[in-house]
Structure 1
Amino acid sequence: MTELNRLLESIHPVSVELRDAARRRIDHLTKPIGSLGKLESNAARLVQVFGTTDLRIRRRVIFTFAADHGVAEVAGVSLYPRSVTGQMVLNFLTGGAAVNVLARQAHAEVRVIDAGTLTPIGDPRLIQKRIGPGTRNFLNECAMTREEAVRCLEWGADVFFEEYRNAPIDMAGVGDMGIGNSTSAAAVLCALSGRPAQEVAGRGTGLDDKGLSRKVSVIDESLKQRRPNPADAVDVLAKVGGFEIGEMAGCFLGGASRRCAMLVDGFISTAAAALAIRLRPGVQDYLFFSHQSAEQGHARALQDLKATPILDLEMRLGEGTGAAVAMHVLDCAVAMYRDMATFESAGVDTAT
């Protein structure tokens, strides 16, 4: 059995019995049944994920994976040069990016991973999981080999495992950085869903109508040339994916295998989650979709996954920012579950 197969086999179904037990407790809290809405359903889901009715969150981590994309060589698919990926990695490491600021508010640690930036970054604070100096241009050839795709998944899981060994993680967000990665993410989601690029590709960092049209045509032509197999997530990743997208998918799988609540960030993170779900459908029980991105294809991707986002704040940055904000909502769900009085303990009459 390969390392990837062992990883997939280590993800177990969540308990329906624990969910029902959590709901019974929530229904006995001093409020009308269902009146706290999705806080209630998210608390019950967290009980399932953790495998215990003793619900608490001790450690939070946001993993931000960075890599470059060969498809960014194509004129018009991105407003920014690929040099920005490495520059933003340094910004993450010095604590100056949006994800750092929002993570601090959520009492979450940030870990930054080089999955394949164009130029190596020699900083000891950076987790080195480089597959290569960016993917190949999938308009002309496959983004990576199948072996590299498998390595992405395995190394992404290793990132989670290595951090988990330092101290157990209860809640983790998974974010991204990579110039051109919204093109790759859109191609992945098109390949998995069968949707045309016009329905999935968005403006990314701010493309105008001409740029968006170019991006759509590049994705459609790439899918026609590469012909990824939608039933084979590894094939999709190899043909049109990104190194950071593959490692993010692996991180979702690794976290689920350790019963961690895994927060999907935005559009790119959802593409990674979709790959993980195609590999092991049960992983979705461990995923919490932080928010609905303003990127036009995100709503359709969530619809295809039958996933309900926690928030809709018109965000579209990535990095793990949406996950950091959604952590506050899940903290509220835990506080409700743990700290509210029951009708019996408070001496409050129940409904007749």
Structure 2
Amino acid sequence: MSQAWWLNPCKPIDHATREQAAERQQQLTKPAGSLGQLEALAVQLAGLQGRVKPSVESVWIAIFAGDHGVVAEGVSAFPQAVTGQMLANFVGGGAAISVLARQLLATLEVIDLGTIDPALNLPGVRHLHIGPGTANFVLGAAMTTEQGEQALQAGRDSVLRAVAHGAQLFIGGEMGIGNTTAASALACALLDCPVTHLAGPGTGLDVAGVSHKVQVIERAVALHASQRDDALQTLFNLGGFEIAALVGAYLACAQEGVAVLVDGFICSVAALLAVRLNPGCREWLLFGHRGAEPGHRHVLDALGAEPLLDLGLRLGEGSGAALAVPLLRLACDLHGQMATFAEAAVADRPA
């Protein structure tokens, strides 16, 4: 195996600045704690950015895409061709995340790690051609070690571009028909949780479809059970190229010192994998929303995560995280622009 960069130490939190930010919160013209989670967010971001008054104006959104061999088992309501078609929609500006990125004035990067059409060549998309999608993980490993490491590196490379761009916040999104099946299989292996608690309708399966999906995942998890204690090998056995890229991106963000806003179920599974590989990255992860996929709640619980929104979303693409960006910005604005009791000449509560 090549040098395991993903195990390098994560950047430490600036605890002194975090404490200063916490003290500032206590001095603002409001009852202590009255802005709840928004106060904690501002203080956390201050520690991550090393700034008493943090900011998340510069946002980088990276969409990672890849196809999945397990679709051959009939686990998706949509054909695999949709993955490539949605890549065109992303760069064409017609997808939900495209609209959100425009509204947020965020940079949107689209990365094709490997779809079933190796000749796909879309202007504005980074095509990496790691493989024609993953292999069917019911029959063997989803990807080789070399492919898995390439996908991890692709996530890291996106973060390095974000850092060079001056990004203050990183959002990863995903696209890949069949990827809720891969994410559910990974979550099942990592949490030792019954598949029935984790697998959901994905893009719109009916009850019979979900039942079949559960059976497929159970076969795959059983096939690879002997390696379930090895998080990296489990990723390569049951994951997707786009999930591996998300893992690499989250770890690189923690190493480079960029706050992450994690999207829905699939991205949260990638976050769980990142934390299993390198626990120091957990402090760099914020969570955008609680999605409708049944497995998302279990993964968030395992991460001790408190998501910002709960809107019944299940789109993916990074859309739920993008929707939470205005809340982060407002948390920073409230923290940085509200007057202190002394500045406003307002009487503070008695000591």
- Specify if TM > 0.5: yes
Q: How does 1:46-61 map to 2 (within 5 A)?
A: 46-61=45-60
Residue 270 of structure 1 corresponds to 268
Greater than 4 Å deviation, 4+ residue runs = none
2:227 match: secondary structure: coil
Paired residue type of 1:49: L
| TM-superposed deviation, 1:3 | 4.2
Q: Which residue of 2 aligns with 1:162?
A: 161
1:2, CA displacement in angstroms?
A: 4.7
Instruction: Tell me which residue corresponds to 2:67.
Output: 68
- 2:254 alignment partner in structure 1: 256
TM-score (normalised: structure 1): 0.96
Cα deviation code 1:184-242 (max 9, x no counterpart): 00011111111111111111011111100000111111110122634322101111000
In the other structure, the counterpart of 2:142 is: 143
The match for 1:104 is: 102
Q: Structure 1 vs Structure 2: percent identity of aligned residues? A: 43
Q: Secondary structure of the residue that 1:263 maps to in structure 2?
A: strand
Superimposed CA distance per residue, residues 130-188 of structure 1 (whole angstroms, 9 cap, x where no aligned partner):
311100000111101122222221221012113432x2110111111000000000011
Deviates more, 1:12-21 or 1:217-226: 12-21
Counterparts of residues 138-217 of structure 1 (less than 5 Å): 138-165=137-164, 167-217=165-215
What TM-score results when the alignment is normalised by the length of structure 2? 0.96
- Residue identity matched to 2:319: T
Counterparts of 2:319 and 2:56, CA distance in 1:
19
Match of 1:334 among 332, 335, 338: 332
1:261-340 equivalent positions in 2, closer than 5 A? 261-340=259-338
Uncovered stretches (5+) of structure 2, i.e. residues with no partner: none
Distance of aligned partners of 1:231 and 1:45 in 2 relative to their CA distance in 1, 3 Å threshold: farther
Question: What number of residue pairs does the alignment pair up?
Answer: 349
What is the CA–CA distance in structure 1 between the aligned matches of 2:43 and 2:162, rounded to whole Å? Answer: 26
Q: CA deviation at 1:117?
A: 1.2
For the 8 Å contact 2:68–2:136, the answer to whether it is kept is yes
Runs (5+) with no aligned partner, structure 1: none
CA distance in 2, matches of 1:231, 1:308: 26
> For the structure 1 residues 302 and 228, does the alpha-carbon distance in structure 2 shift closer, same or farther, using more than 3 Å as the test?
farther
How far did residue 93 of structure 1 move?
Answer: 0.7
* Aligned-pair CA distance for 1:8: 3.0
Determine the C-alpha separation between the residues in 2 that align with 1:229 and 1:16: 38
Contact 1:193 1:230 in 2 (8 A): no
Q: CA deviation at 1:70?
A: 0.3
Q: Secondary structure at the match of 2:108?
A: strand
Please list the CA deviations of residues 22-52 of structure 1 after superposition, one character each: whole Å capped at 9, or x if unmatched.
Answer: 1110110000000000000000110111122
C-alpha separation in 2, matches of 1:300 and 1:331: 28
Counterpart residue number, 1:27: 26
Secondary structure of the corresponding residue to residue 286 of structure 2: strand
